Structure 1
Amino acid sequence: MKRREFFAGAGAMTLAACTPTSGTGSDPIRWRMATAWPRNMPVMHDGAQLFAERVNVLSQGELEIELHAAGEIMGALDVFDAASQNEIQCYHASSYYWDDIEPATAWFSSVPFGMNAEGCLAWILGDEGLSLWQDIYRRFSIVPFPMGATGMQMGGWFKAPLEEPADLNGLRIRIPGLGARIYAKLGAEPVQFPASDLVPAMQSNRLDAADWIGPHIDIRLGLDTVASHYYYPGWQEPSGILELGINSHAYDALPQHLKEIVRSCAADVTQHIVTRFAVLNGRAIKRLRDNPEITVAPFPVKLLELFQRVADETVENEAGKSVRARRVHESYKRFMSSWLGWGRMANLGYFDLMR
């Protein structure tokens, strides 16, 4: 059964019967957590591991989280459904993976040509983003929280250089979310592969290009060994917010002090992931620029202008697919309009001075 059919139908009726394993007296509460990342995925899986460890320590063993990487007990993209049905109690992934279920989910991760991680987290945590996010997920019996951000990503790896819009025709590119819809409108063929399959797919010519995250993790995956053109900026994912999703029945069953521990640990891991990416990407991009076999370059201006024009149309179209998506989109735009003036003034001028 397709996920959309499940959530539209009787599957939601089973949720009320699902309860987490809870302790009585000195018995710990035990949760299972799955991630959308392979176990060897730096920063992101490491962040999920840190979350599980910190919850265990701060709760003094009252809440134990057993962590499973993608593929160990389920596929990377199965974690949302599993948490909704309480097969697992929580997961770590990215919200745009579920935009086929509800288009509004994409806004809580990245919007093409939208806010960076600083702005997006400000909307989520300092404005109404989190309340909208949690309201949308309520019908799936999931409570979401931000837990990390990749920050501004790169534009992706390409086997051949991009020069003209015609170069996008028939281009087989791994890219998710709203970015995939934009490439499709420009004649490319977006496809989905898990991280572990990207390099083999590039080697076997099943892919011509791949968007993953940024320099450090891309090198760890080996993408620099299968493509030589690395473009920026990552207009398709300027924020890369990651999510902690918790089954609402499991979460509601926690005593208040454990809820506070879960929330504070998610906030700590957000800071950890953001800072780790900043440290590691700075080192990795220097390594790539020093490699004479790799071309690190900005997208041609004519392509960026084309991407942005189609992105504006695509985001508006996606916002029209559901009442919830429209509500989230309008909130996001309202906040961005007030944040952008300060963000541009504070950062652009200063970065120019730092050259």
Structure 2
Amino acid sequence: MFDGLKDKLSGFREDVEENAEVEEPAEQGEPDGTESAAVAPSEADQSAESEAAAEKPEPTGGDANADGDEPSTFQRAKAFATGRIIIEEEDLEEPLWDLEMALLESDVEMSVAERILDSVRETMLGESRKQVRTTGELVESALHDALLDVIAVGQFDFEQRISEADKPVTIVFTGVNGVGKTTSIAKLSEWLADRGYSSVMANGDTYRAGANEQIAEHADRLDRELISHDQGGDPAAVIYDGVEYAEANDIDVVLGDTAGRLHTSDDLMAQLEKIDRVVDPDMTLFVDEAVAGQDAVNRAKEFNDAAEIDGAILTKADADSSGGAAISVAYVTGKPILFLGTGQGYDDITLFDPEELVESLLGGD
């Protein structure tokens, strides 16, 4: 999952390591290194020398940088002598450009890419780091924090919210046609059942031919109750009936399907507004395909602007190499990704973990 983006992030790390390599100044020791080997200081001596060098004022002429805008040659030499490394603007210029192109090619939204670049630059530029912490580790730490900053926006504990809420909890699903809303409802019903929560499905997609049959097939396979009306009925009334059924039968969660729509479909958006008024759902979840990339990001923003969502589910994440939607949706909407669909089976749904995703992108298992 997201293998293409993993490779591009790895390339950025390698580029910075190559560009930021610090060469030992000639005057630091004998060419053959014998004098350095004979007088090699202990770790404690190195630490003391490092602290003393840090307190010593820098010369005001020659290579020293009076304005302090960029590390001078003197600073670089001192950094090496005291076991530290300095990252300069020139070290990052080309790798950051390549990283920006890589992010955009991976369908990461422009403002999200800019946020990541700014964060990496702020973390690394002009920083003096102990050489015992490699440049690669420094790059990985900067990328980790920058990615987590955008991916984890708005994140909350979904199961805890279900556990603590008054029952029944009503969740409405929305999005465009054909992205897997109905299948995601079935998967979430099974996910809830595995954790001890009962659920009922309510088919608020009353306009699409065959919608009742599609969700009824899932309900039969999972042995769940389905509330539905005839085609052309009022979606708000269907989901309201689902809530009443749940209240009468001590069901924990109502999962309400809705018709696929574009944010520009005024009549369908009006239906969502009516559902909000009549049912007052606890959560509205936006569903789209991870493989849709930038289109999914744009639609998430548009749906959130038109009818506020509480979170998102990205389907087909297992087939997505770019990862742009997974990185961008939360930052663009301010609302978290809650689940990833990862296959065709009812168990193929994964609670979204931003930290786990970042570690995976940076080379973890």
Give the TM-score, by structure 1 length: 0.22
Give the TM-score, by structure 2 length: 0.21
Larger Rg: 2
